[in-house]
Structure 1
């Protein structure tokens, strides 16, 4: 994140809080005429990736909640955040995908492709 963005955030906004990932959330000091309300934004810790915004802060960021929700207790069955893997070697590829071998399981009656005009 740039030094200019940090400086602008400190001057024109007020810090609302941080989440468990270290992201900092800001709200403008004045109402924006174009929006008719205060503007809200996030300064990401590390790479800027929208999937790193937890649900407790997502509602506040998009003006669906007046205040950030309290962080819920983390249970043992809850998984930690994983960044979006689309376009990487770790992306989900179901059986039959070209990159996963290209062979799908045979189904009953197996698939018959549609051909136009028949």
Structure 2
């Protein structure tokens, strides 16, 4: 969020909360005339990486829920991670050039198709 937009958000909105990534969430004090509901916005802590918004806040931002989701976390739930594409933490399959591996040799069961053959 730009400095000017953040300044106006602080003037016209109230702070609702923050998450573990440092993102701060705001809700306008007055409802928007067209939608008849308050505008919700987020000040991202890490530039423009909107994938750092966790699911409970994403639902609140898009007016799916009235309050950020809270409640017990199940043991099978993993903590939220931002999109790692393009970073050293990105997933790379076995044999990828960047992971230093070697691809497996293909089995001898492939036969190329030839027309009319």
Output the TM-score relative to the length of structure 1. Answer: 0.70
Could you say if the C-alpha distance between residues 102 and 37 of structure 1 is closer, same or farther in structure 2, counting changes exceeding 3 Å? same
CA distance in 2, matches of 1:71, 1:21: 19
**Aligned: 1:3 with 2:13:** no
Could you say if the C-alpha distance between residues 14 and 31 of structure 1 is closer, same or farther in structure 2, counting changes exceeding 3 Å? same
Structure 2 residues without counterparts, runs of 5 or longer: none
Q: Secondary structure at the match of 1:26?
A: strand
Matches within 5 A, 1:39-118: 39-70=39-70, 72=72, 81-100=80-99, 103-106=102-105, 110-112=109-111, 117=115
Check the 8 A contact 1:14/1:29 in 2, yes or no: yes
Structure 1, 47-56 or 4-13: larger mean CA deviation = 47-56
Structure 1 residues without counterparts, runs of 5 or longer: none
Give the root-mean-square deviation of aligned CA atoms: 3.1
Matched residue count: 116
